[in-house]
Amino acid sequence: MEPCSGSRGQGLATKPGTRLTGDGTGFPGMSLREPSPVSVAAVLPAGGSGERMGGATPKQFCALLGRPLISHTLRALERISWISNIVVVVSLENIETMKSVIKKYGHKRITVVEGGLTRHRSIFNGLKIFVENKLLNAPLQKPEVVIIHDAVRPFVEEDILFKVAVAAKEHGAAGAIRPLVSTVIASSADGCLDHSLERARYRASEMPQAFLFDIIHQAYHQCNDYDLDYGTECLHLALKYCKTNAKLIEGPPNLWKVKKSDFQETQQLVEVLENTNISILYPVVLISLVSPTMQELVAIREFAREVKKKNIFLYGLLIHYNKMADQPLLENLQGKGAHQPQ
């Protein structure tokens, strides 16, 4: 297995007039040195079926504030001028849906690619379009740095994207991390506790991640079927197949991935918000997707009354509501939402 190659160590910029520092601490227009031009593109795997959300509609196409969730993510990336192209990878049956979203909401710089059966195979398809793009009307330029981000993480900001891109240029790979909220334990074959990890030593791997294109593309080319079918961590592929140790960047708390959460997860998230003391300065609005059960909705309602005193406004968003089947639930909750404007 040959180590991957890539040009590292130079600064990051995109075009004349747009300058980014090469130390990962600055912002556009605040360059501390004159960097050389580097092209940056993004790949968004969006081939999930939404099974964990418990619904027929993939979560990337579920409506949030009047538009599909993936549209919010695309808009966040489109606002960044130094990202030249955005490749969205979706399953075959959702290609036309994705094209309709792009047309309806006027998204630009977007290329839709058919995904694979797994996350890694979909990402690989997204990368290949830059080097095997003969079928495209307007072939895409192969970038020097590629950002990989989840389609269902719409709250990403330019600061963290910039930091991972600069770090990838310097180190070959980089990714956002966050502190673990819960302790990770391992169970034995008989279902008993085997051991636990020291939480202070470990971090949760988040998105976005960034790579020198040649490194991550070659890593996928060398990847075995097991990793392609069962792996989930791109940084691991760069380390395993290209001997590239990723730079880990502490990410902000808004790198949340939209998913269906249970009441315990909602409580844990509120605890994190309380520990940061952010609600002392600004009111925090938290929306929790809940199942259509009386027990969970009542719990959310009571919990919302409690945390409102701490400047945290909790809303329970009911999914897959059936009016006929849940008439008693409607009567119980009518006029008693998780939070009512005063």
DSSP 199: G
The half-sphere exposure of 286 on its side-chain side, counting CA atoms within 13 A, is 34
pLDDT tens sequence across 290-317: 555 555 666 667 777 777 777 777 666 5
The answer to whether the CB of 123 falls within 8 A of the CB of 220 is yes
Could you give the maximum distance between any two Cα atoms of the chain, in Å? 66
Record the tokens describing residue 281, joined without a space: 């300065």
pLDDT band (50, 70, 90) for residue 251 = confident
What pLDDT, on the 0 to 100 scale, is given for residue 116?
A: 94
What pLDDT, on the 0 to 100 scale, is given for residue 337?
A: 45
What pLDDT, on the 0 to 100 scale, is given for residue 282?
A: 58
Distance of alpha carbon 217 from alpha carbon 124, whole angstroms? 7
Record the tokens describing residue 269, joined without a space: 């998230």
Phi, psi for residue 86 in degrees, rounded to 5:
-125, 120
Sequential DSSP letters for 46-96: -----GGGTSSS-GGGSEETTEEHHHHHHHHHHT-TTEEEEEEEE-GGGHH
Phi, psi for residue 249 in degrees, rounded to 5:
-115, 125
- Averaged pLDDT for residues 175-188: 89
The answer to whether the CB of 163 falls within 8 A of the CB of 61 is no
- Averaged pLDDT for residues 47-66: 65
Record the tokens describing residue 109, joined without a space: 């710089």
Distance of alpha carbon 24 from alpha carbon 290, whole angstroms? 38
Record the tokens describing residue 122, joined without a space: 């979909």
Write the CB contacts of 332 (distance below 8 Å, at least 6 apart in sequence). Answer: 294, 298
| Buried-state track 114-127, b at ≥16 Cβ within 10 A, e below 16 | bbbebbbbbbbbbb
> Domain 12-250, what fold?
Spore Coat Polysaccharide Biosynthesis Protein SpsA; Chain A (3.90.550)
pLDDT tens sequence across 226-250: 999 999 899 999 999 999 999 999 9
Hey, where are the domains in the chain? 12-250, 263-333
pLDDT tens sequence across 135-150: 566 789 999 999 999 9
Distance of alpha carbon 192 from alpha carbon 185, whole angstroms? 10
What pLDDT, on the 0 to 100 scale, is given for residue 24?
A: 40
pLDDT band (50, 70, 90) for residue 17 = very low
The answer to whether the CB of 113 falls within 8 A of the CB of 89 is yes
Distance of alpha carbon 89 from alpha carbon 107, whole angstroms? 15
Cβ-in-10-Å burial (0-12, 13-18, 19+) of 9 comes to exposed
Write the CB contacts of 55 (distance below 8 Å, at least 6 apart in sequence). Answer: 62, 319, 320
